[in-house]
Amino acid sequence: MKFRAHIRILPRPGLLDPQGQAIAHALTELDFSEASTVRVGKAIEVDLEAANATAATRRVRAMCATLLANPVTEDFRIEIETRS
């Protein structure tokens, strides 16, 4: 089966995120004062084939642990979409 993995990678909470801070500051200046914390990360899409959604998730989690995210500084979340 074909799947598309949507991977969201964000800096660990507590780790200084200067991009997030700069954007939060800009939002406040633009009259979006209700915005408090902003964090900036990466969105990665991976198309893959796997026997089922569970197997796809397992493989994508391994991709994240091996290459896509740095366990020292980043957390990741995976959503699997069925394509066929």
User: Which of these segments, 29-37, 53-61, 66-74, 75-83, binds another protein (CB under 8 A)?
Assistant: 66-74
Structure tokens at 64: 């994240």
- Of 12-20, 31-39, 45-53, 75-83, which part binds another protein (CB under 8 A)? 12-20
Nearest to another protein of 73, 82 (CB atom): 73
Q: Where are the alpha helices (DSSP H) in the chain?
A: 18-29, 53-63
Tokens 């366990």 correspond to: 71
Q: 10 and 78 in contact (C-beta within 8 Å)?
A: no
Q: Which residues bind another protein (CB under 8 A)?
A: 11, 15-16, 18-19, 22, 67-68, 70, 72-73
